[in-house]
């Protein structure tokens, strides 16, 4: 009887762990599927549903274990959660209209889900094995690859005169969506795949993350490793989709990330491992450009033109910063309220800030901006600890995975920050999954060294 009493709770704990495992992996996989949502008390996305289920499974597991202790990283995330909440609540008192209150409420729900997921995911990942961390990262990358794959099918269907979204997504969500049409050249439409995201620029900026995280891991794989060819093909495919989006912000972010990786991995710049997939992509792109020279020359000229209406609008939103700081300097206009202010100032209802930093300053003021800067500093600090851990591992085979991972995550974070000068994907779910992977990694991989992350020191970089 005693043996049975001991065995039953353990069985429940294992089952709960499997449920939470599956929900975390499913969230990581589907987190970029923005179009998969339903109009139920507002827009409820697939990622929202999975997040709520994961949080419930996580809370149930922790309650069943009767142990609510957390490590220092999770405690720091909890501290940021409380600090952001206080800033947003302070901004609440600057709201003036019914629409402003409604937008604030929507923003608070998203904030609670995003940061709640971040808090739970960081704690959960730090308690799991290195193998599970790699699975979580793999599902995150695989989800973006699946999203990119849908984008290619979407592009091919559009060129054949079909709306793939109408065929695949409309029966599931009941909503309407389609591929982005950039314009036309001599009567031929210019399509930019947005896949399962809401915008081709969103897709491009999101793809910066897997491109930059996977690239150094791929370069450090041993010759003959079973993942070497699949990862080379994956990188080439993701780069093709990145180019197909025609996103300047995506390429800006990718360029920043590549510059960061070029320093520690400079000896790989002329390696066969790097040149082979790049040559394949280059050959295909060159063929496509040459076969439709006039069409693509017109499109590319329009994308490099910095005097167009689209470019002017991206820079024009920065004019609002000083106006808002003059009226509400400390806590801004209130969370999720840029659109309300923009409509009041311009009369336009269909345009957002198109810059994460503009939205951040306008909506949360100086205090919120400084707090978010501290949060980003915390992310970079954890990645610096991960790089230090990789150096401390020395000749341990794990070092050949930890150091590339650290540099890839660092480059991806810098790339995302650069791309968000003109877009605001750092408000989206995928950024919080990415942040959880960044924050948890040092704790996960320091298990090899007795769960103690080494001090940050100067030294080699690869």
Taking the domains of the chain in order of start, what are their residue ranges? 2-449
Average pLDDT for 36-61: 90
**pLDDT of 320 higher than 80:** no
Range of 37-51, 183-197, 374-388 with top mean pLDDT: 374-388
- pLDDT value, residue 278: 92
- What is the pLDDT at residue 6? 37
Would you say residue 456 has pLDDT above 90?
A: no
Q: What is the pLDDT of residue 352?
A: 62
**Positive or negative torsion for Cα 450, 456, 84, 420:** negative
Radius of gyration of the chain (CA): 23
| % of the chain exceeding 90 in pLDDT | 65
Instruction: Supply the pTM of this predicted model.
Output: 0.90
Query: In which band, very low, low, confident or very high, does the pLDDT at 323 lie, cut at 50, 70 and 90?
Result: confident
Helix (H, G, I), strand (E, B) or coil at 182: strand
Q: What tokens does 332 get? A: 């801004």
- Is the Cβ–Cβ distance between 273 and 219 less than 8 Å? yes
Confidence band of 450 (pLDDT split at 50, 70, 90):
low
Query: How much is the average pLDDT of 397-411?
Result: 95
Q: Is pLDDT at 311 greater than 70 in this prediction? A: no
Query: Average pLDDT for residues 85-107, to the nearest whole number?
Result: 91
**At residue 189, what are phi and psi to the nearest 5 degrees?**
-65, 145
**CA 424, CA 431: separation in Å to the nearest integer?**
10
Mean pLDDT of 336-359: 71
Average pLDDT, the chain: 88
**Is 148:204 a contact under the CB 8 Å cutoff?**
no
Confidence band for 174, pLDDT divided at 50, 70 and 90: confident
Compute CA 121 distance to the chain's CA centroid, rounded to the nearest angstrom. 15
How far is Cα 356 from Cα 379, in angstroms, rounded to an integer? 17
Q: What is the pLDDT of residue 149?
A: 97
Minimal CA–CA distance to 320: which of 298, 340, 300, 294? Answer: 340
């Amino acid at each position: 009887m005693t043996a049975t009493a001991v065995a039953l709770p353990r069985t429940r704990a294992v089952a709960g762990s499997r449920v939470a495992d599956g929900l975390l992996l499913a969230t990581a996989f589907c987190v970029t599927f923005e179009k998969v949502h339903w109009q139920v008390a507002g827009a409820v996305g697939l990622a929202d549903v999975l997040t709520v289920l994961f949080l419930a499974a996580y809370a149930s597991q922790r309650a069943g274990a009767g142990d609510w202790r957390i490590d220092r990283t999770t405690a720091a995330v909890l501290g940021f959660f409380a600090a952001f909440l206080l800033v947003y609540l302070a901004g609440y008192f600057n709201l003036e209209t019914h629409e402003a209150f409604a937008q604030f409420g929507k923003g608070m729900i998203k904030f609670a889900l995003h940061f709640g997921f971040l808090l739970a995911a960081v704690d959960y990942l730090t308690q799991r094995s290195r193998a599970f961390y790699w699975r979580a990262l793999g599902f995150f990358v695989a989800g973006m690859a699946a999203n990119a794959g849908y984008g290619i099918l979407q592009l091919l269907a559009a060129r054949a005169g079909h709306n793939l979204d109408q065929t695949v997504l409309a029966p599931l969500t009941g909503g309407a969506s389609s591929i982005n049409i950039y314009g036309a050249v001599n009567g031929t439409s210019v399509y930019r795949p947005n896949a399962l995201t809401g915008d081709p620029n969103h897709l491009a900026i999101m793809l910066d993350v897997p491109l930059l995280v996977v690239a150094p891991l791929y370069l450090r794989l041993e010759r003959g490793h079973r993942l070497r060819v699949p990862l080379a093909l994956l990188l080439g495919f993701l780069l093709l989709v990145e180019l197909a989006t025609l996103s300047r912000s995506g390429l800006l972010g990718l360029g920043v990330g590549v510059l960061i990786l070029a320093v520690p991995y400079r000896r790989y710049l002329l390696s066969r491992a790097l040149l082979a997939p790049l040559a394949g992509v280059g050959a295909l792109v060159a063929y496509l450009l040459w076969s439709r020279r006039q069409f693509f020359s017109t499109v590319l000229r329009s994308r490099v033109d910095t005097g167009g209406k689209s470019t002017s609008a991206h820079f024009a939103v920065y004019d609002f910063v000083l106006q808002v700081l003059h009226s509400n300097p400390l806590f801004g206009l209130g969370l999720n309220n840029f659109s309300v202010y923009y409509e009041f100032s311009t009369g336009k209802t269909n345009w957002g800030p198109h810059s994460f930093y503009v939205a951040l300053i306008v909506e949360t003021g100086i205090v919120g901006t400084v707090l978010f800067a501290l949060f980003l500093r915390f992310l970079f600090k954890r990645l610096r600890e991960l790089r230090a851990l990789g150096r401390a591992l020395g000749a341990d085979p794990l070092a050949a995975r930890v150091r590339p991972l650290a540099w890839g995550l660092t480059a991806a974070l810098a790339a995302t920050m650069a791309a968000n000068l003109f877009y605001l994907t750092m408000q989206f779910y995928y950024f919080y999954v990415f942040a959880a992977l960044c924050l948890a990694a040092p704790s996960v991989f320091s298990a090899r060294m007795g769960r103690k992350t080494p001090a940050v020191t100067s030294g080699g970089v690869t």
